[in-house]
Structure 1
Amino acid sequence: MVYVGRFAPSPTGALHLGSLLAALGSWLDARAAGGCWLLRIEDIDPPRAVRGAARAQLQTLRRFGLLPDADPWRQSARAAAYAVALRQLAAAGHAYPCACTRADLEAHGGIHPPRCVRPARADGAHAWRLRVPRGVIAFADRLQGPRQQDVHAEVGDFVLRRADGLWAYQLAVVVDDAAQGVSDVVRGADLLDSTPRQIMLQRLLMLPTPRYLHLPVVVDTAGLKLSKARGSAALPSDALDALRQALTLLGQRESAARPARSTTHLLEHALTHYRADLLPRSRAIAAPQSADAGAPRTLADDHSTRSAT
């Protein structure tokens, strides 16, 4: 099977150390397998998007030497494909319109009950939900190991298209991964719990299921995930130092005898010596204290202080 990997940021702010970890990890894994690496801008939520963020993210990746093998896709241009998938699910009885509000769901513990609490709304607006079948979804994550989830009991009928007409992430990512031929998804462990929902959709839509590898997310001193939307510090101008920092957090080592003098040489060395078995198996990993302030430490300092929670 041809390896096709991808990095899919949302344009909600500047890329930070956690973003770089996911981008670099997916790039290394794809390149080490002799595969291709794609980019997808997940811009299906315009209210959360920051103007100019997508262009800035692409420029940052270029500055770090992480170049895709094809022009980036934008989910904002993919509405027709999502509509086809929704019609397929609805025709098979797997999706239904829902006018329940968030308050309605909170009254039921956050999980959609067997029937809609609010069959209709005065304004006619409604979401579309997946009718989640009973049973456990199990899969083997390449890094985190065996995982399983009873989506029916733990999540309930989840949204495919919102009442405001915007497409939900779970449907969009499944449709796009299949359309781009993605064989391997390497991303942050904050999305680990979403994977069973995506596998369920893949099966119902008769789409292939990629292999999954969930890297630890980078957290700050308070234990909070670094976030574009929360204003975590953007990557510094010194791309070489930031790459060294990210490689260390990924468990990869730079040669102490011949340290790289450019991002190109560092990426070449990292690719040659990449070992997936050295990736940290935790769901979160602590950033160096200076990382969220935009001043990454050296490789040696990072290796000696790396910790996971």
Structure 2
Amino acid sequence: MKLALPERPQGNYRGRFAPSPSGLLHFGSLVTALASYLHAKQNHGQWLVRIEDIDPPREQAGASEAILKTLETYGLYWDEQVLYQSQQSNYYLDALSQLKAEHLSYYCQCTRAQIKQRGGIYDGHCKLLNHSKHNSAIRYINHYKINQFNDLFQGRVEIDNKLASEDCILFRKDGLFAYQLAVVVDDIYQQISHIIRGCDLLEPSARQLSLFATFGHQPPVLGHIPLAITEQGYKLSKQNKAPAINNLRPQSVLIQALQFLGQSVETGLEDLSPEEIVAWSVKNFQFTAIPKQQEIVINHSIF
């Protein structure tokens, strides 16, 4: 099938940073934002910001505005109007309708507990049961089952074949759109050519590549950077209540982010404005220096 959204012009670099408003920006988020911004600007491209606000129960009041303010404080300015996923529902519904019309989706009533009892990975149990939409999620039929891809920074990535073959959920039982559907539809809608993000999304990338193929659109080039891990072994994330970065000393945090990404930093850089540090980074950042490991332990004093 061909999802009725614009094709991406050849040669036009369009990157994006897509935080969720479930909390404020932490150090790991800044590293991702900085890397994606610098990659776009070194390639003379556009850098977009998308707020992934499709899960209201998990969102923190005022977080969207605070995230945007923090990006500006750190000298990271986006090129187009911010896109909010909460305003994209019609596009998601159109995608679901097209999948249904092409017989590429079905209703599923399996619970997480039931899936866990059957091995932990969904096995297509409901595919031929013809459930009604009442109390059902919507899964798509994964014909492509992509289990490997080339990553800009991690090299050849292979995903567990059973996981890559799963018919993942696109619409949840609670009436919310699933992340996998929203992110792929929005990447097509915004004509994104490159995605630079954290290694926690390596496995979901395989599912998204299969969904891009199902929708008949060329996928973006993928680059996954290492995750910041605390000394206790926890990923810096909003779910793990990672502390927000300090907006009062953006120069120091920007330099720490550059060092985390394997960069040599000039003496005196801390005396520049955030905008000047970012401009210096556009000229001097070496993407070949990004560590290839998927996780890096950081000292808690970095905050």
Structure 2 length-normalised TM: 0.91
Contact 1:260/1:266, CA 8 A, preserved across alignment: no
User: Percent identity, aligned pairs only?
Assistant: 38
How far apart are the structure 2 equivalents of 1:123 and 1:98? 8
Count of residues in Structure 1 that have an aligned counterpart in Structure 2: 292
Q: How far has the Cα of 1:136 moved from its partner? A: 4.2
Change (3 A) 1:53 1:94: same
Change (3 A) 1:151 1:83: farther
Give the counterpart of 2:282 among 271, 287, 308: 271
- Structure 2 unpaired stretches of 5+: 1-10
- Residue in 2 that maps onto 1:301: none
Change (3 A) 1:207 1:224: same
Q: How far has the Cα of 1:156 moved from its partner? A: 1.9
Per-residue CA distance 1:210-243 (angstroms, 9 max, x = gap) = 0000011101111110112322111012000000
- Residue in 1 that maps onto 2:257: 246
Per-residue CA distance 1:39-62 (angstroms, 9 max, x = gap) = 000011111101111111011001
Contact 1:4/1:183, CA 8 A, preserved across alignment: yes
Contact 2:212/2:218, CA 8 A, preserved across alignment: yes
Give the counterpart of 1:193 among 198, 203, 206: 203
Change (3 A) 1:166 1:277: same
Q: How far has the Cα of 1:253 moved from its partner? A: 2.2
Structure 1 length-normalised TM: 0.89
How far apart are the structure 1 equivalents of 2:128 and 2:218? 35
Contact 1:143/1:279, CA 8 A, preserved across alignment: yes
Per-residue CA distance 1:70-103 (angstroms, 9 max, x = gap) = 1110101111101111111222222111111222
Contact 1:151/1:196, CA 8 A, preserved across alignment: no
- Residue in 1 that maps onto 2:58: 48
Structure possessing the higher relative contact order (Cα contacts under 8 Å, 6 or more residues apart): 2
- Residue in 2 that maps onto 1:285: 296
User: What is the root-mean-square deviation in Å for CA atoms of aligned residues?
Assistant: 2.0
Match status 1:204 vs 2:221 = no
- Residue in 2 that maps onto 1:297: none
Contact 2:100/2:106, CA 8 A, preserved across alignment: yes
The amino acid across from 1:111 in the alignment is I
Change (3 A) 1:253 1:166: same
- Residue in 1 that maps onto 2:117: 107
Contact 1:26/1:187, CA 8 A, preserved across alignment: yes
How far apart are the structure 2 equivalents of 1:78 and 1:190? 25
- Residue in 2 that maps onto 1:223: 233
- SS for the counterpart of 1:186 is strand
How far apart are the structure 2 equivalents of 1:122 and 1:92? 18
- More deviation in 67-76 or 81-90? 81-90
Match status 1:21 vs 2:26 = no
Alignment of 1:23-172 (within 5 A): 23-116=33-126, 119=129, 124-133=134-143, 135-149=145-159, 151-152=161-162, 156-172=166-182
Match status 1:214 vs 2:251 = no
- Structure 1 unpaired stretches of 5+: 295-309
Q: How far has the Cα of 1:262 moved from its partner? A: 1.5
